[in-house]
Amino acid sequence: MNRELILITGMSGSGKSIALHALEDAGYYCIDNLPPELLLPFVQLKDPTQQTKVAIAMDVRSAHALHLVPAQLMQLRDQQINVRLLFLDANTDTLVHRFSETRRNHPLSRTDSGAAASTLDLAAAIELERKLLSDLREESHIIDTSLLRAGKLQDYIHSLVTAPSAELTLMFESFAFKRGIPVHADFVFDVRMLPNPHYEPELKALTGRDTAVAQWLAQLAPVQKMQTDICDFLDQWLPSLKNDHRSYVTVAIGCTGGQHRSVFLVEALHQRFSGNWVTLKRHRELDTL
């Protein structure tokens, strides 16, 4: 019987508790804030005939031992356990706002006397946390929760855990440059130079998922050329990324508003590559409406 472990890490305030609850609803046996020293003993204690799906959350409160985790995960993979790493992130301004809103203290923001830190200290604590978690982030699938509602984060988690297991999962994501480049993108393609349906009155209120917009864009030579160029690039390099033991590759497609051109191309690319790769899609701006 196949066993699966999802390890959730990420920035404090980025939504790890929400992700863990979503996994619990999906049938995973979940445990929060497990010390890294107990990871192997805990997994070995679980009866594989009773619990085949386990999710564990770790965070910077275990910073002293996080360096142990990569080697432990290799041992678990050697035991034929399907291990997946999920890292939740958010930009610093969003995290500061969330901590201020909830009046919680950051795990790293206390002084020696135990008093709560100032706002400046909070920002510094967040940057220190980024540094301490950088190695785990590098190996993980990253979800940027800066603009996500809790319900949409749960949807993202569900799409990940229901996707077929694969050596490499390909994620296409549309976004608006005016709201910033996704922090987790491996490749970013700028399609703002393509003709814009925003200036067509009958298409302005629609999105790239609507048939009228898709048909309008699909017949344009520059759009066809852009799609072909992106496909050629990915066809060339995805096998090398897979051989380099990459678990996830995120391809971000950006236009001005994240509504028409980038959405259309993500839909088209998802359809094009889904025959050969495990492929997921997201639309950042549409998902935040």
236 SS3 class: helix
Quick one: pLDDT at residue 70? 87
Quick one: pLDDT at residue 11? 94
Taking the C-alpha atoms of residue 262 and residue 89, their distance in angstroms, rounded to an integer, is 23
Taking the C-alpha atoms of residue 116 and residue 153, their distance in angstroms, rounded to an integer, is 29
Quick one: pLDDT at residue 48? 61
End-to-end, the C-alpha distance of the chain in Å comes to 41
Non-local (6+) Cβ contacts of 225 within 8 A are none
For residues 279 and 205, the answer to whether their CB atoms sit within 8 Å is no
Quick one: pLDDT at residue 113? 47
Domain ranges across the chain: 3-162, 169-287
257 SS3 class: coil
Q: Is domain 3-162 given the CATH code 2.60.120.510 in the classification?
A: no
For residues 187 and 49, the answer to whether their CB atoms sit within 8 Å is no
Taking the C-alpha atoms of residue 253 and residue 244, their distance in angstroms, rounded to an integer, is 23
Residue type at position 278: V
Diameter over CA atoms, the chain: 66
HSE-up of residue 35 (Cα within 13 Å, Cβ side): 5
Quick one: pLDDT at residue 119? 43
Determine phi and psi for 132, rounding to 5 degrees: -70, -30
* Whole-prediction pTM: 0.78
Quick one: pLDDT at residue 243? 87
289 residues of the chain, pLDDT tens digit each: 578 899 999 999 999 999 999 999 999 999 998 999 999 988 877 666 666 889 999 988 887 888 888 889 889 988 888 888 999 999 999 999 998 888 788 888 764 445 444 444 888 889 989 998 988 898 888 999 998 889 999 999 988 888 877 778 899 999 999 998 988 899 999 999 999 999 999 999 999 999 999 999 999 999 999 999 999 999 999 999 988 878 889 999 999 999 999 999 999 999 999 999 999 999 999 987 6
